[in-house]
Structure 1
Amino acid sequence: MADMKENNMNDGVPSLDETAAEAVRLSVGPRPGAGPEKPRKDRRRIIIGAAAVAVAVLVAGGVCAHRAYESHQASVARQACQSAVADQAKAVKAYKTLLGSDATVAVLKTDAKSVKDAKTVDTLKRAAAVRLPAMVKCDASKAADLDAAAAKAAKASRTVKTDSKALETAVEAVETSKLDKTVADAEALYKATDGKVQDAKTRDALAKAVKARDAGAIAKAVKAVNESKAAKEKADAEARAKAEQEAAAQAAAAQQAQQTRQRSYPSSGSSSNRSYSSGSTGGQYYSGGSYSGGSSYGGTSSGSSDDDYKINIDDLPVTTNPNCDGQHFCPLG
């Protein structure tokens, strides 16, 4: 305070304390023994001028302080906004990286028929087709506007992070559903090929892969089982064809043998044109349904014509000649 008073006196301008003291002195009058006073009018001018200067200084200081405060607040708000925008950019980059990864690209090509639950494919497509929010800019000059921009960037960042999580979950769901379908198909193949493979070890390997839920091992085992199944089917078909050929050959041989026997031993009906005649041994033969020879049969005499005596071959007695084996056209006796 002493320094201020000294500085004010050096500048020729009374301090506020001096102004207040002067006002009090004027109100009570001059002190006894004091020298002559300056005119009252000059003193009032001095007081008014000092007061005006003081007010101006206070106003200027307040304005400067307010502006400094606003500038500080804007600076803090801008830093917060820039930080929020940086988080948003990071979240967007993470989403795009996940979307463009080899795993996601491969899963996006999955057909609905190759998964156990087709809904997982639809969910994945929706998660991969979201529209990312626009990037926020921190180009405002006021703290309030910068705070609003920071809030917008923070909200966008949360949205993108949620989208990334949904995409990641959808990818995993499709992969799991695809494996479930692979395992189910492998189990069905295992059951359907019981006793139908050439090498049973292929089915054992398939069962082991299914239990482990190893997609690569299952694919390899399925291929081996199918090949073994095809090999058995081919072998069975060849065996059936061979058996059919053998059966056909046997049937043809039997038919040929039967035809040979029929040619060698004519039936009884073909003997109706044969005749009996007397031979050198005196035996009698049958000829053309008539009976001829040197002796008579059935009350007829020899020398009768064939037209007069017709004999049915079925009426003739069966020969007892052991060399003829019971044939009617053999010599009687």
Structure 2
Amino acid sequence: MDEKDSMTPDTIPQSTPVDGTVPAGRKNRRPVVIGVAAVAAVALVTGGVCGYRAYENHQVSMARQACQSAVTDLGKTVKSYKALLGADGTTAALKTDATSVKDAKTLDALKQAAGAETPAMVKCDASDKIGLDAAAAKADKTAKGVKAAAKALESAVKAVESSKLDKTVADADGLYKATEGNVQDEKTREALKQAIAKRDAGTIAKAAKSVNDSKAAKEKADAEAKTKAEQEAQAQAAAEAAAAQSQTQQSYSAPQQSYTPSYSAPQQSYTPSYSGGSTSGGGSGSSVPDFVPSSGGHGVGSANDCDAACRAPIQH
């Protein structure tokens, strides 16, 4: 029934007589009104059910899209974490020796950060909004955990690199101080000092090599000079010793002695004298020649010569 028909005078309700009779003009209108109301009610119920189902399907679809988006973000986060874990900087930091860093604790933190397990992926396989929302929430939470692990890993890598640089700077500063006056070219130490101030590892390494090379060159030159000086001192000492020996030989000559033995035999001269003796009393007599030596050399010339003459052998 359209709006025009509903506004006609026939549809205006009429007062009902006391006896309950219906006017003749409205006897056939009630069934029509009831039928329209029933159809409207059925349409309303049917439309409501269909509308709810459509709304519910829409909600499920939106939840599924949200879940898929969360899972996609999780996948990207995990991929980024894996890329950071396999990066050259991370690999180099993990291979760093404890002697190469100033603080060894940074290596422990790095190993812990790199040891985080990669989470499993979340699936949006639920058929209702509640299940899809739960999956999306799980994907979001997992992604946040992976992002936190990636941030911790990145910070740990930077901490190791910073500690390595601190150790490099400290070693370079020690080299600078230890080589004062011990390099062949002082400019190399000045370049090292500037590199330390810049805290540039590459520049420090280059400058430190130059200082070490200059130090080695000076040590070599000093060693050669020392060897040469020792050789010259030895040569001079040998020359002085040779000169002293030659002078000694020239100033000394052995004494010469000549010996001619001479011998004079003692000479003796004597003149024997003999005088005949006489015997008396008829006896026989013997005569002994008188021997009176006359001293020509060893004869007795005086009383003082008696001893020598007396000791002389008697010749018969």
Q: TM-score range by the shorter chain?
A: 0.5 to 0.7
Q: Tell me what 2:58 maps to.
A: 72
Q: Tell me what 2:78 maps to.
A: 92
Give the partner amino acid of 2:139: A
| Pairs within 5 Å for 1:246-257 | 246-257=232-243
- The whole-number CA distance in structure 2 between the counterparts of 1:226 and 1:158 is 50
Give the Å deviation of 1:254.
Answer: 2.9
Q: SS at 1:158's partner residue?
A: helix
1:123 aligns with 2:109: yes
Q: Tell me what 1:322 maps to.
A: none
> TM-score, normalised to structure 2's length?
0.67
Of 240, 246, 250 in structure 1, the residue corresponding to residue 226 of structure 2 is 240
Of 102, 106, 109 in structure 1, the residue corresponding to residue 95 of structure 2 is 109
- The whole-number CA distance in structure 2 between the counterparts of 1:258 and 1:34 is 175
Give the partner amino acid of 1:227: D
Deviations 1:181-203 (A, max 9, x none): 11111110010000001111111
Give the partner amino acid of 1:242: K
Give the Å deviation of 1:59.
Answer: 5.3
Deviations 1:72-110 (A, max 9, x none): 221121111112112212212222232333333333332
Q: Which runs of 5+ in 1 are unaligned?
A: 7-20, 38-42, 279-291, 294-301, 304-333
- The whole-number CA distance in structure 2 between the counterparts of 1:264 and 1:34 is 184
| Pairs within 5 Å for 1:235-314 | 235-265=221-251
Q: Tell me what 2:147 maps to.
A: 161
1:214 aligns with 2:176: no
Q: Which has the higher contact order (CA 8 A, sep 6+)?
A: 2
- The whole-number CA distance in structure 2 between the counterparts of 1:126 and 1:181 is 22
Give the partner amino acid of 1:232: K
Q: Tell me what 2:177 maps to.
A: 191
- The whole-number CA distance in structure 2 between the counterparts of 1:106 and 1:142 is 48
Deviations 1:145-184 (A, max 9, x none): 0000010011011111111211221121122111111111
CA RMSD of aligned residues (A): 3.9
- The whole-number CA distance in structure 2 between the counterparts of 1:34 and 1:84 is 71
Q: Which moved more, 1:257-266 or 1:204-213?
A: 257-266
Of 203, 212, 224 in structure 1, the residue corresponding to residue 189 of structure 2 is 203
- The whole-number CA distance in structure 1 between the counterparts of 2:40 and 2:230 is 129
1:178 aligns with 2:159: no
Q: Which moved more, 1:137-146 or 1:213-222?
A: 213-222
Q: Tell me what 1:152 maps to.
A: 138
| Pairs within 5 Å for 1:9-88 | 29-31=20-22, 60-88=46-74
Q: SS at 2:126's partner residue?
A: coil
> TM-score, normalised to structure 1's length?
0.64
Give the partner amino acid of 1:167: L
- The whole-number CA distance in structure 2 between the counterparts of 1:277 and 1:257 is 37
Percent identity of paired positions between Structure 1 and Structure 2: 62
Q: Which has the larger radius of gyration?
A: 2
- The whole-number CA distance in structure 2 between the counterparts of 1:34 and 1:159 is 82
